[in-house]
Chains A and B, each alone.
Chain A
């Protein structure tokens, strides 16, 4: 199965700063772009942010952007809002079984 490794484990930033989260796959994700990002806040279900590596899901603000292909993917939050402090997971769906990264926590500095 495809193993996704996210870095860093924790990102400590202030509101208004830029956040850059990385997701690296152990092998090329089939069709190269079958990668999604989810946000999860404490006690809540995950929420789809990005699919197809770079397409924003419905209702997601444009401060969230995704990029990358093959084995290296990035989620960027251009300017952190207070509600953006959460855990972020990448997920690949190009290879069976679908797999998730271990998560990156974005915390308030």
Chain B
């Protein structure tokens, strides 16, 4: 069974940092690109960042470019999102999502349950 389990969310002050993790199991990790998608409280979905399956190429939404960094550890089957210089508007549930192909194509066929990041003073 495909599973994605996020962790690392929490309350942080503006300007602070967090690192989110997403542990993947039940599939060949390097055969799939991965993405992070967020959802502000009571709002819609916003794609944040993606990383290729084997190339490791990374992609970012303009709203997070330069502040968030996506990476993956193939030995641990884990996806990461390093979040720096956090802003109040980054407050959201962050979902880890598997892409259906080995390269970033944008079809998210499996999602984790999400981890909540709250940025507040």
Check: B71 CB closer than 8 A to any chain A CB: no
Any B CB within 8 A of the CB of A46: yes
0/1 interface trace, chain B 48-65, chain A, CB 8 Å (1 if under): 000000000001011000
A residues 67-109 with Cβ under 8 Å of B?
89, 91-94, 96-103
B109 is contacted by which of A44, A57, A99 (Cβ under 8 Å)? A57
A93 to B111, Cβ gap below 8 A? no
Q: Which of B13-21, B23-31, B39-47, B84-92 contacts A (4 or more CB under 8 A)?
A: B39-47
Q: Which one of A44, A51, A99, A100 contacts B107 once the chains associate, using CB atoms below 8 Å?
A: A51
Contact A47 B106 (CB under 8 A): no
A91 touches B106 (CB 8 A): yes
For chain B, the count of residues having a C-beta within 8 Å of the partner chain is 21
The total of Cβ contacts below 8 Å across the A-B interface reads: 53
Residues of A within 8 A of B107 (CB): 36, 48, 51, 93
Using CB atoms and an 8 Å cutoff, list the residues of chain A in contact with chain B: 34, 36, 38, 44-48, 51, 57-58, 89, 91-94, 96-103
Q: How far is the CA of A44 from the CA of B62 in the complex (A)?
A: 27
B113 contacts partner chain A, Cβ-Cβ < 8 Å: yes
Q: In the complex, what residues of B have CB within 8 A of residue A51's CB?
A: 100, 107, 109
- Scoring A48, A98, A101 by chain B CB atoms within 10 A of each residue's CB, the highest score goes to A98
| Assembly CA distance A89 to B97 (angstroms) | 15
